[in-house]
Amino acid sequence: MIHSMKKALAVTLMLACSLGAAGCAERIKVENAIPDSRIEGCGVYVKKVGNMPEDFILGMDASSVIAEEQSGVRYYGFSGEEQDVFKTLAESGVNTVRVRVWNDPYDENGRGFGGGNCDIEKAVEIGRRATRYGMEMLIDFHLSDFWADPGKQMAPRAWKDMEIGQKAQAVHDHVSDCLRQLKKAGVKVRMVQIGNETNGALCGEKRWSYIQLLMQAGSKACREVFPDALVALHFANPEKAGSYMDYAGKLSEYGVDYDVFASSYYPYWHGTLDNLAEVLNAVSDAYGKKVMVMETSYAYTDEDSDFSGNTISGESGITKAYPFTVQGQANCVRDVTDAVVNRMKNGIGVFYWEGAWISVGSESWEKNHELWEKYGSGWASSYAAGYDPADAGKYYGGCAVDNQAMFDPDGRPLESLRVFNLMRFGNETELSADAVSDAFLTCDLNGTIALPETVDAIMSDNSRSPIPVKWDATDAELEAMSTGGANTYTIKGEAGGFPTVCRVKVEEVNYLENPGFETGELAPWSIVEFGKADQLYVENKPTDSLSGDWHMHFWSAASGSVDFELSQTVASPAPGTYKFGISIMGGDGGETDIRAFMLVNGEETASVPLKITGYNNWDGALIEGVEIGEGDELTVGIRVKCAGEGNGAWGKIDDAFLNLTVKK
């Protein structure tokens, strides 16, 4: 596999040489400023990002590409032909490629830790290829033998026991040596990053007095080898209030020499874009630094394609500001970029993270596992266990971001990859639905089943809008819903070219609101008092409720003081025949006159007597057969009048219901 790849590469190089009169040093000119005519007909809509500077960094982290290719992954261009993925990136408007460098990502037997086995040799090869297609490079030094992020910042094994002075020298020499190799290979380095997501830790050190020494050492090496390159420091979790100003303050206090204060921004973890702009602007204002988004990405699908679970999927309960679609992914990148260009005073760029990290195969976990282990194309191999036993050692596996790539599982570019070009121009496409929601409907089993005429859609410009839907309910399904009693049904349909479903719940609907007082409020019930009861209120006492926690309570000591009417009015109920019920219990009533009643347009049409006969002896009233016509007003309620005896009449009222029994 490696052999054939090298052969393919050699052919490309020969072609490049024969075409360029000045020889191999000549870069291949890639047409990445797509003329308007080619923007039309794109599969994504992209709203123009205004005011974008010519040299704004539209970046792609492509660290895993070599391991991917070694594992057999092939990449294709928009024409459908197999071509160098870096050519495709350049054609898509990417102008800078980011690559991570680990010191020594191999075990004692030379077996790679995975995650692309990103050593300096791979960075040089990626740098050569990116440079060939006119792109510049950002070199991301993790200063570790494997992943460095807010959760771990382990020193490389070779530096583990060094005291801080020695370690700083080692950082300097490592960065210097790597950058010299890149320079020698003719790689154009635009930016160098000292540490990755260094939230208060770096290279095994947790004291800022030490961390800053390591950063200074790396920065110095960069200034020596690539004096024109920018030095970036990279942090994560912009949503943690105050943390960025805290880091920037420490860096200033120690006089760390750097140009760019960069942040990761993953929309599902890192707060709002408003917050991101605010915290980066604060750093920029206070310390005069350039700012940027160093990593971002978004899912284009819920699906996993390599038998190894993804960090983000439909089931993770995240807030979906964008649907998991190719268009949603493009909109997300566009909006993040717009925030950096137009809402940050010193914003210089955005890098998409690992847009070319895709599945190494579609056959089985076993086959893929072999490739991940052999070529390091998964996030971690089992060989990383010795260095990182707690994480990689337990959870090693494949790609966790294949559903956030900008290439499909076969290596073909998604339309979202065009976003880098399109953001500069914007394009015109007809607004269309990009994702549609399911519909939910609760119907009265004695009422009419009317499926909704629209469903909610997210449009290609990420706006929300109801759109017409066509349901495929069969006559048999419609009949079943009308006559099948209480049940649930799923009806398939189509809206805006997308399949959707309506989940219909058919049940006996209670047309009363707050029927058992469970809101803890009286409304929308009302009380008219004819006596003056000592106590008459909605009470929370589950043991005294017929169901739930709440009920209406009354008690009064004086004779004849319990005399009230509790009622609720339903304005214009659907015409038909109704039944009403309500329950009461109580005692010490003496002579009582208690009645449940129904009023139609203010006239009593039916009533039923009730008795209070002791604690927990609930008496239930049921009035049936009351007909309601078009526009009628229906009031239901209970009149309670007690002479009282002993300590005074008391009682509890609960669980009213009003149901349609026959629809007119």
Of 326, 428, 341, nearest to 49 by C-alpha is 341
Task: Give every CB contact of residue 395 below 8 A, 6+ residues apart in sequence.
Answer: 380
Residue 140 makes contact with Ca ion by CB under 5 A: no
Where does this chain touch Ca ion (CB under 5 A) — which range of 37-45, 155-163, 259-267, 302-310? 302-310
Considering beta carbons, is residue 399 or 536 the nearer one to Ca ion? Answer: 399
Considering beta carbons, is residue 120 or 401 the nearer one to Ca ion? Answer: 401
Residue 289 — left, alpha, or beta (φ > 0 → left; ψ -120 to 50 → alpha)? beta
Residue 71 makes contact with Ca ion by CB under 5 A: no
Where does this chain touch Ca ion (CB under 5 A) — which range of 151-159, 269-277, 371-379, 401-409? 401-409
Q: In what order do the strands lie in the sheet with 470-471?
A: 439-444, 498-507, 487-495, 470-471
CA distance 292 to 262: 5
Would residue 69 show up in a list of annotated catalytic residues for this protein? no
Residue 310 makes contact with Ca ion by CB under 5 A: yes
Shortest spacing between CB 313 and Ca ion, in angstroms = 9
Considering beta carbons, is residue 310 or 567 the nearer one to Ca ion? Answer: 310
CA distance 417 to 146: 28
Shortest spacing between CB 400 and Ca ion, in angstroms = 6
> Which residue is catalytic, options 68, 91, 136, 197?
197
Shortest spacing between CB 397 and Ca ion, in angstroms = 8
Contact (CB, 8 A) for 89 and 418: no
Of 443, 464, 418, 193, nearest to 326 by C-alpha is 418
Residue 354 makes contact with Ca ion by CB under 5 A: no
Contact (CB, 8 A) for 236 and 190: no
Residue 304 makes contact with Ca ion by CB under 5 A: yes
Shortest spacing between CB 391 and Ca ion, in angstroms = 17
Contact (CB, 8 A) for 120 and 179: no
CA distance 465 to 462: 10
Shortest spacing between CB 359 and Ca ion, in angstroms = 7
Residue 302 makes contact with Ca ion by CB under 5 A: no
Would residue 295 show up in a list of annotated catalytic residues for this protein? yes
Cis peptide before 389 (omega within 30 of 0): no
Residue 308 makes contact with Ca ion by CB under 5 A: yes
CA distance 195 to 156: 13
CA distance 257 to 192: 12
Token code pair at residue 312: 């983000």
Residue 508 makes contact with Ca ion by CB under 5 A: no
Residues contacting Ca ion: total by CB under 5 A: 6
Where does this chain touch Ca ion (CB under 5 A) — which range of 179-187, 296-304, 338-346, 441-449? 296-304
Where does this chain touch Ca ion (CB under 5 A) — which range of 297-305, 349-357, 456-464, 486-494? 297-305
Residue 306 makes contact with Ca ion by CB under 5 A: yes
Q: Of 107, 140, 402, 654, which lies in the binding site for Ca ion, with binding defined by CB under 5 A?
A: 402
Token code pair at residue 402: 């294949």
Where does this chain touch Ca ion (CB under 5 A) — which range of 307-315, 521-529, 565-573, 604-612? 307-315
* Length of the chain in terms of residues written: 664
> Which residue is catalytic, options 68, 69, 136, 295?
295
Shortest spacing between CB 302 and Ca ion, in angstroms = 12
CA distance 660 to 77: 63
Of 521, 595, 540, nearest to 564 by C-alpha is 595
Considering beta carbons, is residue 304 or 633 the nearer one to Ca ion? Answer: 304
Q: Which residues are catalytic?
A: 197, 295
Residues that bind Ca ion (CB under 5 A): 304, 306, 308, 310, 399, 402
